[in-house]
Amino acid sequence: MPIRRECPWNLPDREATPESVFLNRRALLAGGAALGAGLLAAGGTAQAQGISSWFGGSRTLYGAPEEDPSHKLYPVERNPKYTLDREVTAEEHNLTYNNFYEFGSRKTIAKAAQQLKIRPWTVTFDGMVEEERTVDIDTLLAAMPLEERLYRLRCVEAWSMAVPWSGFALSELVTYAKPLSGARYVRFETFLDPEMAPGQTTGSFGYPWPYVEGVTMAEAMNELSFMVTGAYGKPLPKQMGSPLRLALPWKYGFKSIKSIVRVTFTDERPVSFWEQIQPSEYGFWANVNPEVPHRRWSQATEQVLGTDERVPTRLYNGYAEYVADLYKDMDGEPLFM
Ligand SMILES: Nc1nc2c(c(=O)[nH]1)N[C@H]1C(S)=C(S)[C@@H](COP(=O)(O)O)O[C@H]1N2
Ligand SMILES: [Mo]
């Protein structure tokens, strides 16, 4: 694959992730001055390192983990239904520019994320289900119909990319889990292991670990909702949320929770990680809308990773034909934050 010169570090202020700025400031105000200052300094250093390692040619790309026993399953057949209005983002960008706060609040967490232990890995189905159970990830992979889909991903920070995900429809997982008829929401939870993932160390800015996300049952059953197990025709790299993550392409990227260990069916609306931290900026619905600005920046356009382009952002990230109906009777709800 050709090495692109337009690397993510051309995006000037992306290293200080907007999603974390509020917290850094709060840490400073709360008298955590040393902590806050240290974090800001670390961010600056990382940016410098990112540039030098990229242009110095010595950067390491952390791809699909060697120890992942699912290599033999890929590549899987592409579902031609889901097409893109832009090129697939070069794999290097996806391997090196990530949000995965369990491993740090910068974009350059790929190396740190190699600490993630992906086997053994189990997923627990609980809450309002016929029978609670815990399933080994490789058993689950064998039971699911894998396919490839080309999806856009739009981060709430106003950058975007296009990814060839491998995985299976979330509706398949719901059927597999056998929820009770009273279940109204699906709640997802990421692993909790501060020793493995230093970002989860107790007390770091009061982040409410583990990372949690949720969707309504209707959203879960929508054909676009996709459980990701691979990317670029290979098992999922650790930094992208191996071995199981969500992709909800019409919602801001933070809804697409990584490294899932628990799927809970409930009649109570889950409060997500970012919603707990700052509900006025990160809501439950988080549908993409160029006309509804974030409290601290516009959502009208987005920087396409790997290009010099800013392009207009589209309602529901361009997926309105699939999902607009889900929200037609919800006038009072803050659907776009
Ligand atoms: N567990 C977990 N899932 C997560 C995050 C995170 O920090 N932790 N970040 C989210 C955000 S803000 C985005 S934009 C996407 C980024 O996915 P990528 O690194 O594969 O591009 O993952 C989402 N899922
Ligand atoms: Mo994001």
In a domain, 72, yes or no: yes
In a domain, 336, yes or no: no
This prediction's pTM: 0.87
* Residue of 207, 256, 263 best suited for mutating to test ligand 1, as the one with most atoms within 8 Å of CB: 256
In a domain, 333, yes or no: no
Rounded to the nearest integer, the mean pLDDT of the chain is 86
Q: 256 CB less than 6 Å from ligand 1?
A: yes
Over the stretch 253-293, which tens digit does the pLDDT of each residue have?
A: 999 999 999 999 999 999 999 999 999 999 999 999 999 99
In a domain, 59, yes or no: yes
Those residues whose C-beta lies under 8 Å from the C-beta of residue 212, and which sit 6 or more positions away, are: 187, 188, 189, 190, 257, 270, 271, 272, 273, 276
In a domain, 3, yes or no: no
Q: What percent of the chain has pLDDT over 70?
A: 82
Dist. CA 142 → ligand 1 center (Å): 25
In a domain, 301, yes or no: yes
Instruction: Count the neighbouring beta carbons within 10 Å of the beta carbon of residue 75.
Output: 13
In a domain, 335, yes or no: no
Residue 101 pLDDT exceeds 70: yes
Dist. CA 130 → ligand 1 center (Å): 31
Residue 3 pLDDT exceeds 50: no
Dist. CA 131 → ligand 1 center (Å): 30
CATH number for the domain that contains residue 23: 3.90.420.10
Over the stretch 212-261, which tens digit does the pLDDT of each residue have?
A: 999 999 999 999 999 999 999 999 999 999 999 999 999 999 999 999 99
Instruction: Report the alpha-carbon distance of residue 236 to residue 108 in Å, rounded.
Output: 17
Domains held by the chain: number: 1
Instruction: Report the alpha-carbon distance of residue 187 to residue 205 in Å, rounded.
Output: 24
Q: What percent of the chain has pLDDT over 90?
A: 79
Residue 9 pLDDT exceeds 50: no
Q: Which atom of ligand 1 is nearest to the CA of 199?
A: 7
Q: Domain limits at 107?
A: 13-327
